[in-house]
Structure 1
Amino acid sequence: MPPFPPREERDFASLVPREVLRRGLAYYQEGRVLRVFRVGEKVLGLVQGSAEAPYRVEVGPGLWGRCTCPYPEFPCKHAVALLYAYVEEKAPDLAPLIEALTPEEARGLLKKLALLPEVGLYLAEALAPEKAFLEGVKDLRRAFRLGGGQEEARALSLRLDRVGRKEVEAYLEALLEAPFDPEPYLRIALERYLALTPRLSFLLNLYLRHPSEALREAFLQVAGERGEEALHLLRGGNGLGLKRALRAELLFRLGRVEEGLSALREGLEGVGDYLLLVERLMALGRVEEALRYAEEARDWFGKDPRLLPLLDLLVAHRGSPEDHRARFGVRPNLEDYLALKSKLGREFYRERKALLRQVRDPALLARIYLLEEDWKALDRLLRNTPPEAYPALAEVLEEKLPEEAKRLYLEAARREVEKGTRKAYREAARLLGRLSRLDPKAAREAALALLQAYPRRRALKEELGFWLSEKPHGPMTE
């Protein structure tokens, strides 16, 4: 184990990722370390980062520590900058000097230091951590109202171990107002809260306001140890069915399977309710019962896209015409089309037009027409297909109608170049790459023609420049 505090760079450099070390050294050389001091085995200080206020940094043995910056890992570049400052400037150890103070001298010194804003903040956190934390929560709410707050949230997360249940609850409630996804901060705060005799009613209310996975798991973790109290809280319902779903999950975790299934059956109102019940029945190996409920959902909710998992289940286990028909109605696909054609026999042709009217994807229609050799329908499709569908349609036609595929690739590439953006030029290069698999010469000629048509577009030349070579071997196509 390298010595700490470090005496020279090599005592810590090997423990830090190379890029973090490089940026930390740059910060030190730029003079961003505003304060550095040592207390026993810890090095502390202030480092000016990208925010207006400097970051407070604390580093101890093993490079354990904390920084108020938003960087998720430690050590960060600010901590590295502080260590460079320490090994170069060798700040004296304040611990023995503090130990030598009399009580009167210590009180007098603290009163003087409290007048300095930077030190006063440290003292407030050390002497009255709960009050200082609640003030920080107020500042966090203000930052949320202005559209920010991530830096403040991270700083409070680092101080959670110094406060109690009341303060953590205030922080958790404030996080629900965040203008960004608060889930990472919720998880950190909940880990602390679960160690402080948590209140089930508080966790439930938070979850009903903000149904996140972190809050759900926290409630269920505590509820597993206080089952009857939790089940009492979960009586009744709410508009989204959240309490009923929690109750069912808790019953399953308590080993009360039939009660859990009954709770799920009682709340069968929407597609999501059926999904939960069928998933649970499948996990229990009760396949036939699961399929009955999947059929019931299919008959109730028709073309709701959320039905797809249930329809996939029905097709996999039974595959009746009704199952294929329902899934094709939600998500038209070649598998169900061909399955219906096989299972219905002559009856299929009475449904064919109705099935094809449900297809909005020109590429899928082209696949069907090619398989059935319906050339008239394919010709109509090619004449009426919108340009944005050309690439996908060309890919379908490559094998059986290569000339038509080439025409579509060329037209699609030309339209992309006309958009005049780097992204569009890159897509044009990809399309020409697809074309080169069918006709390398045509692809090269098309690229040269586009470059000649727009000679001043540097980005276009950079994306299509490959084609300027005498003997192209074909660019990357995907």
Structure 2
Amino acid sequence: MRPFPPQSEEDFAPFFPEELLRRGLAYAREGRVRRVFRVGERLLGEVQGSAPLPYRVEVGPGLSGRCDCPYPDFPCKHAAALLYAYLERRPEDLQARLEALPPEEAKALLLRLARVPEVAFRLKEALAPEEAFREGVRRLRQAFRLGEGEEVVEALLLRLEEAGREEVEALLEALLQAPFDPEPYLRLALARYQALSPRLPFLLGLYLRHPSEALGEAFLKAAEGAPEEALALLKGKDPSGLKRALRAELLFRLGREEEALAALKEGLEGVEDYFLLVERLLALGRLEEALFYAEEALAWFGRDPRLLPLLDLLVAHRGRVEDHRARFALRPNLEDYLALKAKLGKAFYQERPRLLRQMDPLLLARIHLLEEDWRALERLLERASPEHYPALAGLLEEKLPEEAFRLYREAARRLVEAGGRARYAEAARLLQQAARLDPKGAEEAALALLRAYPRRRALQEALTPLLGHSS
């Protein structure tokens, strides 16, 4: 970076994205830079953006600085606008004038400036940054009560480096009351807190009140430096199970696997508890033990749909008849149907009627096609709901193309009858599918629909491209 403040546009333009530079120049030409000051090697000013109040911008050597706009990176377009305004106005350096003041005049000047509320607040930030930060947190709590506060949070985060441990703790406490998702802001505040000798009891208390990923990770990171203190905190009453999960995770990170597994096994109360234990056992290569607890979960919770991943595990590594049967009961599928058919032999045909009753029409059609049970398939198609016609037609295309064509045509006709541009477009798509089976028949179906509804312009737009398909 060249000497600062810049002497020409070339001193800063190469370091900006082209779009930001263009928008910053436009802001400067529109007169949006309300004020610009030079203090030594730093430029300060106010730039009117989209918010009611102008944004405060500070730019220094190397394009370091800050702006209280919501743009996530720096420099922003407001910084570019400030630089362009500086080149145009070339304000005098206030630092040189201030340095020339005798001590008594400088003190008198500060006392006069302190009577201006805005300046007084800035002086307070400079002379007592931690107290000013606490005042900002109080304003934040008030904003939260009004359902607002994101701008106040962003301003506080810009001053995090000025805050001590107590101030950051106050901010973290306040963020739990936010009327919006506080997680992104929690992460930024926690990063500062980690550098300030974090207190484990405080972090644990926050996590138990607001069990977010950011707070849990912050506690675990701090706990690795004081594991025995952390483990002691994680004992005692734990109705939510949050302490137990943290304790197990910490023990795993410390390499104390058996203790960690014991902690997980102590709290096996819900499906999620079994998932966590089984995942850990698999990660440790303890397959047989993982299968044991997967089976235990199945015995306890029966037909809970959340068990499907555990049933997939049992089928993949054990594949007993009861595993396929249990998974089919939760999610009827062709794989388990065929597995039961192969494993049960003749006994399968006693169970088959019950299995078929659990299937949706599409799976039933696949089974009947596979087994070439044409009479059953015919009965199924007679009873099928029109909403299933397109999917059924897709299944039938290879073996029963004429029936597939009929279903596509009938589904298209019903859509056109219902009316509406979106339905016409879907009808055209179905007739295009039908044209792959019978081009002339699809064209005739399209013509019949156009003749039936000659005044529907949207229908003509949708179906006209299908005409001439057979030529």
Q: Which residue of 1 aligns with 2:371?
A: 372
Match of 2:10 in 1: 10
Q: 1:353 corresponds to which residue? A: 353
Within-5 A mapping of 1:290-305: 290-305=290-305
CA distance in 1, matches of 2:289, 2:81: 63
Tell me by how many angstroms 1:138 deviates: 2.8
- C-alpha distance in 2, partners of 1:163/1:135? 12
3-state SS in 1 of match to 2:6: coil
Whether contact under 8 Å (2:428, 2:462) holds in the other structure is no
Moved more, 189-198 or 99-108: 99-108
Counterpart of 1:65 in 2: which secondary structure?
A: strand
* 8 Å CA contact retained: 1:444, 1:467: no
Cα deviation digits, residues 43-69 of structure 1 (max 9, x gap): 222222222222222223333332222
Is the aligned partner of 1:200 residue 2:200? yes
Moved more, 206-215 or 77-86: 77-86
TM-score with structure 1 length normalisation? 0.86
Asked if the contact 1:433–1:443 (Cα under 8 Å) also holds between the matched residues in 2, the reply is: no
Distance 1:426 1:470, change over 3 A: closer
Q: Within 5 Å, which residues of 2 pair with 1:173-184?
A: 173-184=173-184
Other structure's SS at 1:230 match:
helix
**Post-superposition CA distance 1:271-293 (Å, at most 9, x none):** 11111111111111111111111
Relative to structure 1, the CA distance from residue 54 to residue 223 in structure 2 (aligned partners, 3 Å threshold; closer, same or farther) is same
1:124–1:261 CA distance, 2 compared to 1 (3 A):
same
Partner residue, 2:35: 35
Residues 247 and 417 of structure 1, relative CA distance in 2, 3 Å threshold: farther
What one-letter code is carried by the residue in structure 1 that aligns with 2:161? D
- Secondary structure of 2:86 counterpart: helix
User: Counterpart in 1 of 2:216?
Assistant: 216
The letter of the residue matching 1:67 is: C
What residue is the counterpart of 2:58 in the other structure?
58
* Whole-Å separation in 2 of the counterparts to 1:428 and 1:198: 64
Question: Structure 1 residues 233 and 21 mapped into 2: Cα distance closer, same or farther (>3 Å)?
Answer: same
CA distance in 2, matches of 1:188, 1:198: 14
Shift of 1:338: 1.9
The question of whether the paired residues in 2 share the 8 Å contact of 1:413 and 1:429 is answered with no
d(CA) in 1 for partners of 2:123 and 2:421? Answer: 56
How far the C-alpha of 1:454 sits from its partner, in A, is 3.5
Total equivalences in the alignment: 466
Query: Counterpart of 1:254?
Result: 254
Match of 1:113 in 2: 113
User: Does 2:99 align with 1:99?
Assistant: yes
- CA deviation digits over 1:190-246, x for unaligned, max 9? 000011111101111111111111111110011111011101100024232110011
2:336 matched to which residue of 1? 336
| Residues 409 and 23 of structure 1, relative CA distance in 2, 3 Å threshold | farther
SS at match of 2:268: coil
Partner amino acid, structure 2, of 1:397: L
Structure 1 match to 2:133: 133
Going from structure 1 to structure 2, the CA distance change for 1:56 and 1:281 (only over 3 Å counts) comes to same
Call closer, same or farther: CA 1:391–1:266 in 2, change over 3 Å.
same
SS at match of 1:268: coil
| Structure 2 counterparts to residues 422-441 of structure 1, below 5 A | 434=433, 437-438=436-437
The code of the aligned residue for 1:370 comes to: L
Moved more, 127-136 or 256-265: 127-136
1 CA distance for matches of 2:110 and 2:158? Answer: 24
Q: Kindly tell me: are residues 113 and 257 of structure 1, through their superposed partners in 2, closer, same or farther at Cα, counting changes over 3 Å?
A: same
CA distance in 2, matches of 1:151, 1:349: 68
1:395 is matched with 394
Please name the residue that 1:475 is paired with: none
Evaluate the alpha carbon distance shift between residue 322 and residue 167 of structure 1 in structure 2; reply closer, same or farther with a 3 A threshold.
Answer: same
- 2:278 maps to 278
Alignment check: 8 A CA contact 1:435 1:443 kept: no
Residues 415-454 of structure 1: per-residue CA shift (max 9 Å, x gap): 39957577x7776676566556556673797499499654
Q: Deviations over 1:305-355 (max 9, x none)?
A: 222222221111111122222222222222222222222222222222322
- Taking the aligned partners of 1:75 and 1:218, their CA distance within structure 2 comes to 30
For 1:217 and 1:69, the matched residues in 2 are separated by 29
Please give the root-mean-square deviation of Cα atoms over the aligned residues, in Å: 3.2
Aligned to 1:242: 242
Farther-moved stretch of structure 1 (391-400 vs 159-168): 391-400
Distance in 2 (alpha carbons) for counterparts of 1:177 and 1:21: 38
AA at the equivalent of 1:284: L
Q: Are residues 467 and 131 of structure 1, via their aligned partners in 2, closer, same or farther at CA, if it must alter by over 3 Å?
A: farther
Instruction: Kindly provide the amino acid, as one letter, of the partner of residue 55 in structure 2.
Output: Y
**Matching residue's letter, 1:308:** L
> Structure 1 residues 6, 236: CA separation in 2 closer, same or farther (over 3 Å shift)?
same
Counterpart-to-counterpart distance in 2, 1:205 and 1:258: 27
SS in 1 for 2:12: helix
Given that 2:446 and 2:463 are in contact with CA atoms closer than 8 Å, whether structure 1 keeps it comes out as no
Partner of 2:46: 46
| Alpha-carbon distance in structure 2 between the residues aligned to 1:430 and 1:63 | 56
Counterpart amino acid of residue 88 in structure 2: E
In structure 2, relative to structure 1, the CA distance for the partners of 1:139 and 1:13 (3 Å cut) is same
Structure 1 residue runs without a partner (length 5+): 473-478
Q: AA paired with 1:371? A: L
Are 1:265 and 2:275 counterparts?
Answer: no
Is 1:329–1:358's contact at 8 Å kept on the other side of the alignment? yes
Return the offset for 1:29: 3.0
Deviates more, 1:302-311 or 1:371-380: 371-380
Q: Quote the offset at 1:185 in angstroms.
A: 0.9
Answer whether contact 1:413 1:427 (CA < 8 A) is retained.
no
- Give runs of aligned pairs for residues 69-88 of structure 1, distance below 5 A: 69-88=69-88
1:169 maps to what in 2? Answer: 169
Rg (Cα) greater in structure: 2
Q: Matched residue of 2:15: which SS? A: coil
Residue 179 of structure 1: how far off its partner (Å): 2.8
Say if 1:129 and 1:351 are closer, same or farther in 2 by CA, change over 3 A: farther
For structure 2, the 5+ residue unaligned runs are none
SS at the partner of 1:43?
strand
**Cα separation, 2, equivalents of 1:282 and 1:217:** 23
**Mean Cα deviation higher: 384-393 or 150-159:** 384-393
* Partner Cα distance (2:116, 2:84) in 1: 26
1:143 aligns with 2:140: no
Look up the SS of the partner of 1:14 in the other structure: helix
Q: Does structure 1 retain, via aligned residues, the 8 Å contact 2:425–2:462? A: no
Distance 1:319 1:17, change over 3 A: farther
**In 2, Cα distance between the equivalents of 1:195 and 1:88?**
43
Q: Distance in 2 between matches of 1:16 and 1:387?
A: 59
- Letter aligned with residue 156 of structure 1: L
- Closer, same or farther: CA 333–57 of 1 in aligned 2, 3 Å: farther
Q: Would the aligned equivalents of 2:446 and 2:467 in 1 still touch at CA under 8 Å? A: no
